[in-house]
Amino acid sequence: MIEVVSYNPAWPTLFEEEATKIKGALGENLVAIHHVGSTAVPGLCAKPKLDIILVVSDMSLVTPGLKKAGYTYKGEFNIPFRQGFTRRDTLPKVNLHVYEEGNPEVDLNLLFRDFLRAHPESRDEYAALKLNLISQASSHQRLSGRFRGYNLGKDAFIKKILEKAGFKGLCMRLCTHYDEWKAARAFRKKYFFDKVPMKDPYSWTFDHKDHLHLVLYRGTEIIGYAHIHLWPNQKAALRIIVIDEAFRNKGYGGHFLELCERWLKQRGIKTLHTQSSPKAYSFYSQHAYKELPFNDPDGYESNPQDIDVGKIL
């Protein structure tokens, strides 16, 4: 069961003590450390766990130091380029969210925290929402993979606050929330299968471990979608990448593609393949894609007009 408790005035002090330990564990690799989440907002009820963001120079150097400090690596969850760590065996319980410098997710968390600190009416509205959610049985159940109804139920409020705070960062997420899956289906229908026309024959990939579905946020608005298929032998196929028409010709497509490439490279993928329409060929060429056999291991049919291209990551 999820537990939400009244604000504890000791939380800031506990954060400072923990920050000192973490600085000792990570040394010069640590660029910044921030107390975020509800325990960082005076007067706000919260789960009794400190949320701490670490900004580092080199993500590859993080795990050994944090393990020595008693933290357990928990994965990225739904946010690419984030490393999550927890400590549960001693008090205070801590969630660590680790990002490299320049990641817009850091600004997102700080803007949300600072807005609630500066606007008591929004803080109290958030508190009321939390208490209402934990009174519902569905909030304690996992409704979307790792995520409980409690987390999903806060999404609309968080987006509202981020809009008020003026957040416009470009963030890539794995589809997990209902709105993200809704957007994925809408992008596929509007830009691909309505043109055939036919019903999407690949919706089964939404529940397949080798198919990754990602969305690109600009602030709180989903403006892009990508479908990546993991192949054997450290290869992957970019099945779909698309930016909503209203946001094209602003560099978002290239940025989205670069995020996908960098993330896949971190996951050990060596080459990324795709089949480009003649219209999109110049886009891929601008991003160093060369003509490269597609050789789909699953043997799916392709459009004879498409051009096989790929890139060594």
pLDDT-derived band at 148, boundaries 50, 70, 90: confident
DSSP characters over the chain: ----B---TTHHHHHHHHHHHHHHHHGGGEEEEEEESGGGSTT--B-SEEEEEEEES-GGGHHHHHHHTT-EEEE-TTSTT-EEEEE-SSSSEEEEEEEETT-HHHHHHHHHHHHHHH-HHHHHHHHHHHHHHHTSGGGGSEEETTEEHHHHHTHHHHHHHHHHHT---EEEEES-SHHHHHHHHHHHIIIIITTTT---TTGGGGG-TTEEEEEEEETTEEEEEEEEEEETTTEEEEEEEEE-GGGTTSSHHHHHHHHHHHHHHHTT--EEEEEE-GGGHHHHHHTT-EE-----TT-----TT-EEEEEE-
Fold observed for domain 170-312? Aminopeptidase (3.40.630)
Computed over every residue of the chain, the mean pLDDT equals: 94
Are the beta carbons of 173 and 160 closer than 8 angstroms? no
231-239 average pLDDT score:
97
Q: What are the residues facing 218 on neighbouring strands? A: 170, 221
Residue 211, classified by CB atoms within 10 Å of its CB into exposed (0-12), middle (13-18) or buried (19+), is middle
pLDDT-derived band at 267, boundaries 50, 70, 90: very high
Instruction: Report the chain's terminal Cα–Cα distance, integer Å.
Output: 43
Q: Which residue has the higher pLDDT, 305 or 148?
A: 305
Is the model's pLDDT at 117 over the cut of 90?
Answer: yes
Is the model's pLDDT at 185 over the cut of 70?
Answer: yes
Per-residue model confidence as pLDDT tens digits over 75-103:
998 999 999 999 999 999 999 999 999 99
pLDDT-derived band at 304, boundaries 50, 70, 90: confident
pTM across the whole model: 0.94
Q: Please tell me the predicted confidence (pLDDT) of residue 114.
A: 98
pLDDT-derived band at 150, boundaries 50, 70, 90: confident
263-279 average pLDDT score:
97
Count of Cβ atoms closer than 10 Å to residue 169 Cβ: 16
Fold observed for domain 11-165? Beta Polymerase; domain 2 (3.30.460)
Is the model's pLDDT at 141 over the cut of 80?
Answer: no
Break the chain into its structural domains and give their ranges. Answer: 11-165, 170-312
Topology alike, domains 11-165 and 170-312: no
